[in-house]
Amino acid sequence: MPDFDFDATLRWARFAPRKTLSRQSGDELPFLDNASAGQALLLDTCVYIDGLQGRTPDAVADLLDLRIVNHSAVAVQELMHSIGALDPRHPGSKVAIDRIGGLIRAMPPHRVFAPDTDMLAKGAMLSGILCRLQGYAADDRYRALHDCVLFVQAQKLGLTVLTANVGDFDLLLQMLPAGRAIFYRPL
């Protein structure tokens, strides 16, 4: 496996805090107030979902117009999971599938990135540490895994994660301060 070194990943994880982390106040976090030019973005799955539900503030649309927008196979995976979880007999499922499909089809192929083995391994390690420190319940562990892989992927690609998920990404920024995220508050 040319893109994965087990021992290097163990050394990388030495940053791990040894105690439960506390959430920071909103004043300490990078919230989006006004859109501005800057680093390219990697979108968290919540951005797509909030967009479909009309819950993204105007500043998010402005930011997406100003910056290069990239997509992760992690978000595609989560969106496809949502489709699979829909009840095909429910009258709203076809509309939801069509709207999610439209989002995925609109992603330019050259802007969709799949995490490599190194990203997956480091994201899994980071997720395990986060789940252990914060005492995450079983239901929260897969969500944390996807968030951690996305965060590590963004860091490795030099991108900034755009997300409304303050709870997890606040902790990830504390654990890996070299990572970057911008938060928004859904409407």
In this prediction the pTM is 0.90
CB-side neighbour CA atoms (13 Å) of 145: 12
Q: Which H helix or E strand runs over 163?
A: strand 160-163
Q: Is the pLDDT of residue 1 over 60?
A: no
DSSP annotation of 80 reads H
Q: Where are the domains of the chain?
A: 6-11+36-183
Q: Which residue has the higher pLDDT, 35 or 179?
A: 179
Model pLDDT, residue 16: 67
Give 187: exposed, middle or buried? Use CB within 10 Å, 0-12, 13-18, 19+: exposed
Q: Is the pLDDT of residue 11 over 90?
A: no
Three-point CA angle 124, 112, 45, nearest 5°: 60
Class of domain 6-11+36-183: alpha beta
Model pLDDT, residue 138: 84
CA distance 59 to 32: 7
The torsion of the CA quartet 166, 167, 170, 174, rounded to 10 degrees, works out to 180
Q: Is the pLDDT of residue 110 over 70?
A: yes
Model pLDDT, residue 108: 98
Q: Is the pLDDT of residue 55 over 90?
A: yes
Give pLDDT tens digits for 66-81: 999 999 999 999 999 9
